[in-house]
Amino acid sequence: MTGPTLPTVEIVAEESQLWGTGLQPAGCPVCGTGFLVSIQPGEQRCPNCWRANLAAQPARLRPEPPELVIPFPKKARDYLTQAQNFVKPVWLRPNDLEPARIIQRAVPVFLPHWLVDGNLSGNWQAQVGYDYQVQSSQESYGSSGWKTHQVVETRIRWEPRLGQIVRRYENLAAPACSEAPQLAKRIGQPNPKEGWPYQPDLLDKAVLRVPDMPPESAWPAARTQFNQHAARDCQTAAAGQHIDQFSLNAEYESLNWTQLLQPYYSTAYQDDDGRLHTILINPFSGALSGPRLASTRKAWLYSAISAGIAIILLILGAVLLAGAALAPPLSVLGALAIIGGLAAGIFALVPVLWAWNWNRQQVISPLIKPTTA
């Protein structure tokens, strides 16, 4: 079996313009992520970490335009309701964690994926499963005596199969960025069938991630896609309902590598300490993902106010009870003040404990660590 022929990538100079657009290579000086931007790099905040503005730099990529682009179904402003629902559970939230601000900062981003076409030929073997039914009788005892019920059970009969396969597969997606598996949990998997043939207008001033996985690094994932499709075809050819222990000794020829661009929105907010946290928006489901931290500063403020009210009420209650010897009705007011003071004292613990418990449940993405602006 010979190895597949893989395309090479090139160094694109920082002043170059790509794909019939004004896109220029740029990168983040902090997180190191590469992008293609349509405006001056110094005017674009890094949509990956939000720590710094992008700087012009060369990029290592294939100069050909992508084959397919999945267009944005909506503008960022159309997700305001989802943003409101996203922040609503945060009782004490930072001033910057507001739906309008999150949407206003949203930057459209395209994540690249490799699309691979190619011929597969080779020998395969597997255990193929065939469903069959077994009928048996089951007896049960009730008020009317013993009854017999017919029970039909579906079982699988496994049989070895082997053969040869020759197929051509097209538009098999493989990650072009090392973070793609983690990002897929937040923005979903791309569907090549939703892609449109590339036109410069489809980019619409969006920021494009530059692949950090060249074809030689992405080939294992692409090969897995070829093999999975081959396994399904072999199962169909064997007329089985299941397949297991599939092995394939194949050659992969006439490979053609292009790109698919998947859309998402990136935005951010600052917490009390000025640290930035990235929020991603899935443009198809409208789901927002990212840490929603509570404001510990507000929590301590509310707790301090409640504690102050508690102290005042307790002192007032003590004074009123002391004066009850001269004016007995004051004892009732004193007791009420004491009770109110105790209640306020207990409530003083709630904001701090709630904020601590809420924040420890928030998962900060390992891809984009918080940092000071």
55-56 and 34-37 as β-strands: parallel, antiparallel, unpaired? unpaired
Decide if pLDDT at 37 tops 60: yes
pLDDT at position 370 is 42
pLDDT at position 41 is 65
Decide if pLDDT at 95 tops 80: yes
pLDDT at position 4 is 67
pLDDT at position 372 is 44
pLDDT at position 40 is 75
Decide if pLDDT at 139 tops 90: no
pLDDT at position 193 is 92
> pLDDT tens digits, residue range 150-161?
888 899 999 999
Question: Euclidean distance between the first and final Cα of the chain, in Å?
Answer: 53
* Ranges 6-20, 69-83, 171-185: which has the least confidence: 6-20
* Ranges 42-56, 72-86, 117-131: which has the least confidence: 42-56
Decide if pLDDT at 145 tops 90: no
| Distance of alpha carbon 93 from alpha carbon 103, whole angstroms | 16
Q: Enter the tokens of residue 196.
A: 């449109």
Decide if pLDDT at 7 tops 70: no
Decide if pLDDT at 15 tops 70: no
Helices (H) and strands (E) in the chain, counts: 7, 14
> pLDDT tens digits, residue range 280-303?
999 999 999 999 999 999 999 999
> pLDDT tens digits, residue range 316-348?
888 888 887 777 777 888 889 889 989 989 999
pLDDT at position 102 is 95
Burial (0-12, 13-18, 19+ Cβ within 10 Å), 306: buried
pTM, rounded to two decimals: 0.82
171-200: string of b/e by CB count within 10 Å (b at 16+)? bbbbbbbebbeebeebbeebebeebeebee
> 332, 325 in Cβ contact below 8 A?
no
| Average pLDDT score over residue span 157-182 | 94
Looking at the chain, the whole-number percentage of residues with pLDDT higher than 90 is 63
| DSSP code at position 179 | T
pLDDT at position 369 is 44
Higher-confidence residue: 6 or 296? 296
> 181, 121 in Cβ contact below 8 A?
no
pLDDT at position 58 is 84
Decide if pLDDT at 14 tops 70: no
